[in-house]
Amino acid sequence: MKQGYSYNINVLKSIACILVIMNHTSSYLLTNENYLPFYKIEFVLCRMAVPIFIMCTGYLMGTKELKAKAILKKILKVFIPVFILSGIIYFLQHKTVDFLFLQNFIATPIIEPFWYIYMLVGLYLIMPFLNYIIKNITPKEHIYLISLILILPALLKLLSLEFSAYWSLAIPSYIIGYYFMGSLFYKIQDQIKYAKLSGILFFIVYIIGIISYTSDHLELYNIDSLLIISMSILFMNFILGFKIKIQHKFLNLISVNSLYIYLFHPILQNKIYELSIFQNLISFNYIIGILFYQCILLLICLALAWLCNYIIRKITYRLLIIYKKSQN
């Protein structure tokens, strides 16, 4: 991957991370119906977060030849933190950690947003086989797979006719479709065109999403819906279409620490929101208060994420020194 494009991916991952926090905190806007229009603006935009993350994974990993050791390392990197955090949360709730915790951990995430980590582990397990397919198909076949897995099911859902679920039993998950889409972006990175047009079309689709919003039809905003698929692909093409040559340090910091930011934010969001400083600001100006709260939540999670990664690096470095000394 060319260095310039790694900057683009850092920007995309940073934006996705920010959108995740906005998505999980924008519901506070619904406590006052007067701010429903602003809620729509955040809600529709934030639905792209997970698709962008998955496409970035496909972009970074989709063309690599992965061995079992590399896959295990990646699984442990995401599995261990979510397991430890889940154990801490369970202990705080029940004052003990027992076999029931392990049973519950396997059955369902202790916090709903942790579902993404479970999905990511499953994606890692099949990634070598997906990459083998990606390596051995032509661009036309690549597009056909994306259309079959991602676009066609989303298109059929828009039709008023009822289709049996049995039609799609043999079609892989939309997660695979997004992964293939990310790897296709990598393959064509030097031929990405129409970036400005993609930006315009993204804005048009986004406005349509805002205007069409209704709580009675939230399925239109699922991450496998045609609206969100279109927005996500257009937005990624828009960002990748620009040759970013200079790394933005703050965005890069968010990108590097995005895993722990993702893990910490659902644990802290309610506690931080309830602080008197935010309640006073919200009373003064509701929208400014919510935006300020979201920014502070991001910064606190970023600081904790950086600290965790720093400690892990130090521990890893010490363990390597001890291991090398033992070998001499």
pTM (predicted TM-score) = 0.91
Running DSSP on this structure, what letter comes out for residue 173?
P
Average pLDDT over residues 286-303: 92
Q: How confident is the model at residue 87 (pLDDT cuts 50, 70, 90)?
A: very high
pLDDT at 305: 95
Contact 67, 53 (CB under 8 A): no
Q: Which one has a higher pLDDT value, 95 or 235?
A: 235
Length of the chain: 328
Whole-number Å distance between alpha carbons of 155 and 167: 14
Count of CB atoms within 10 A of residue 186's CB?
20
Q: Is the pLDDT of residue 203 over 70?
A: yes
pLDDT digits (tens, 9 = 90+) for 209-252: 999 888 777 888 999 999 999 999 999 999 998 877 767 888 89
| Average model confidence (pLDDT) across the chain | 89
Whole-number Å distance between alpha carbons of 273 and 297: 9
Q: Which one has a higher pLDDT value, 276 or 179?
A: 179
Distances (CA, A) of 320 to 46, 103, 128, 179, 316: 41, 34, 28, 34, 6
Contact 131, 65 (CB under 8 A): yes
Give the domain range for residue 33. Answer: 3-327
Contact 62, 134 (CB under 8 A): yes
Count of CB atoms within 10 A of residue 313's CB?
10
Q: How far is CA 105 from the centre of its chain?
A: 21
pLDDT at 5: 55
Whole-number Å distance between alpha carbons of 296 and 307: 17
pLDDT at 3: 52
Question: Total structural domains in the chain?
Answer: 1
Q: Which two tokens stand for residue 65?
A: 């030849």
Amino acid 272 reads: I
Q: Which one has a higher pLDDT value, 219 or 81?
A: 81
pLDDT at 328: 66
pLDDT at 33: 67
Whole-number Å distance between alpha carbons of 25 and 28: 6
Q: Which two tokens stand for residue 146?
A: 């994306």
pLDDT at 77: 92
pLDDT at 182: 96
Contact 311, 300 (CB under 8 A): no
pLDDT at 114: 93
% the chain with pLDDT above 90: 59
Whole-number Å distance between alpha carbons of 15 and 255: 9
Q: Is the pLDDT of residue 1 over 70?
A: no
pLDDT at 94: 87
Q: Is the pLDDT of residue 2 over 70?
A: no
Average pLDDT over residues 64-89: 92
